[in-house]
Amino acid sequence: MFPLRDENPTVHASFATFALIGANLACWLWVQGAGFHPALLKSICQFGAIPAELLGFVQQATRIPLGGEFYCGIDGNPDYRTVITSMFMHGGWFHLIMNMWFLFVFGDNIEDAMGPVRFIFFYLICGIAALASQLWFHAASVVPMVGASGAIGGVMGGYALLYPRIRVHLLIFLGFFFTRIRVPAFLLLFYWFLLQFVSGYFSLGSAATGVAFWAHIGGFIAGILLVRFFCNSERLARCKMKRTNIK
């Protein structure tokens, strides 16, 4: 299922949402070399968050293979800046595009209810909570974590709480057949959450997992828990009033 758009008009300009998208794109092009080696692997190694390194579970001079002749070398000194920098790194074009599209579809309405400054703090805190969740379940993992998925999971969790009945237009792929449907946001978002939970459950016991499912889960739950604290009541009321007037 691929979300095309939602039926949720915005009142204010989405400055922070587009700034975050722009920051991710800029990092992809100028830091990660638009996905070309060796810039991509170097960026993942340098700016990705490695759970076992952050928690001090790996020894100095440990080598983490990245494929072929490339590897990450750990010097024994955790770089806690990666808690933030890892949110702006991605593993490939598809990873980047999917994350930015979900942020584009759902982020503007959450920003609308918070304001740009609050939204950025909400986004970053959800991303940190997502990383903490992954560290809890995969503390021994030496796979570098990159991507905005955890923070965007928080945006989606906030959206599920604030706008559960808003209709979302989906493109459904069934082999060579595809169709377009409208569903309430809570159906799409909790279906997404269920997929992450099931996948995360089956990833338990594995120190090396290629997808940080528990980061997605942790971000989503953090978004549900925090969205009310970051919302501006006046802005949220104006958003709901505009949507009512349009209906």
Question: Per-residue DSSP letters for 122-174?
Answer: HHHHHHHHHHHHHHHH-TT--SPB--SHHHHHHHHHHHHHH-TT-EEEEEEEE
Question: Per-residue DSSP letters for 15-28?
Answer: HHHHHHHHHHHHII
Query: Which DSSP symbol is given to 49?
Result: B
Task: Classify residue 60 as exposed, middle or buried by CB count within 10 Å of its CB (0-12, 13-18, 19+).
Answer: exposed
**What pLDDT score was predicted for residue 245?**
54
**What pLDDT score was predicted for residue 214?**
92
Instruction: Give per-residue pLDDT as tens, 214-226.
Output: 999 999 999 999 9
Instruction: Give per-residue pLDDT as tens, 126-145.
Output: 999 999 999 999 888 888 89
Tell me if the domain spanning 10-246 has CATH number 3.30.930.10: no
User: What's the CA gap between 134 and 128, in Å, rounded?
Assistant: 10
Prior bond of 38 cis (ω within 30°): yes
Task: Classify residue 247 as exposed, middle or buried by CB count within 10 Å of its CB (0-12, 13-18, 19+).
Answer: exposed
Q: How confident is the model at residue 149 (pLDDT cuts 50, 70, 90)?
A: very high
**What pLDDT score was predicted for residue 106?**
96
What are the residue ranges spanned by the domains of the chain? Answer: 10-246
User: What's the CA gap between 155 and 152, in Å, rounded?
Assistant: 5
What's the whole-model pTM score?
A: 0.91
The CA distances from residue 166 to 6, 60, 112, 230, 246, in Å, are: 7, 51, 15, 20, 13
Q: What integer best gives the mean pLDDT of the chain?
A: 89
Query: Which DSSP symbol is given to 29?
Result: I
